[in-house]
Amino acid sequence: MNIASYIDHTVLKPTTTIANVEQLCAEAKEYGFAAVCVPPLFVKKAKELTAGSNVKVATVIGFPFGYSAIEAKVAEIVLAIIDGADELDMVINISAIKNNDWQFLASEINTVMPVIRSKGKVIKVIIESGILTDDEIITCCDIYGAAGVDFMKTSTGYAEKGATVAAVQLMRKHLASSIKIKASGGIKNYSFAAELVIAGADRLGCSSSVQIVKEAGE
């Protein structure tokens, strides 16, 4: 298993520096990671640092709680695309889930999708699976599957519970094969990373990426 090809090498801490981003991008090119995922402020810099490589640049939208206004998320997406982002990892409105306001969630994704599709970019919706019930995860699969998103993503890494094999398996069971899955949050070693891929994850969001690859002996 070429685990490096699954990894979005990530730094999203609020104290992120340019030096952190420079290191992240250098490692991504060295190890052949799928993408780097950086705060919006650093998208332009990451794009410069990964130029000429196959490494994609991802950033986060509505991060980490997801309850910013739809209009704010659209503005964030537009600015990220202008700065050169290839992939947008958007936190959905988790408060809406907990209030059973599925119409709001449908409206949110249906508002942002045309913006992303018109520019040929990739959308990953973060549902924060660790704080959802199985039924809520399944309903998310229905909504975002119907919307035709590129990926459903388990977690921000900021909730108490991150990615689990069970959540990935549940999502895989209830999504069309055309919808990919990104697992993130708490992936610290190769064995867990490999378990998630076997369970159905197509991407892994990791900050311990280099350690994971070294453990894999790749």
Among all residues, which ones are annotated catalytic?
Answer: 89, 153, 182
C-alpha to C-alpha distance for 179 and 169, rounded to whole angstroms:
13
Structure-token match 């994971």, residue found: 212
The two beta strands, 87-91 and 7-10, are unpaired
Ramachandran assignment for 90, one of left (phi > 0), alpha (psi -120 to 50 degrees), beta (any other): beta
C-alpha to C-alpha distance for 179 and 69, rounded to whole angstroms:
25
| Residue type for position 111 | T
What b/e sequence results for 69-94 when a residue is b if at least 16 CB atoms lie within 10 Å of its CB, and e otherwise? ebeebbebbeebbebbbbbbbbbbbb
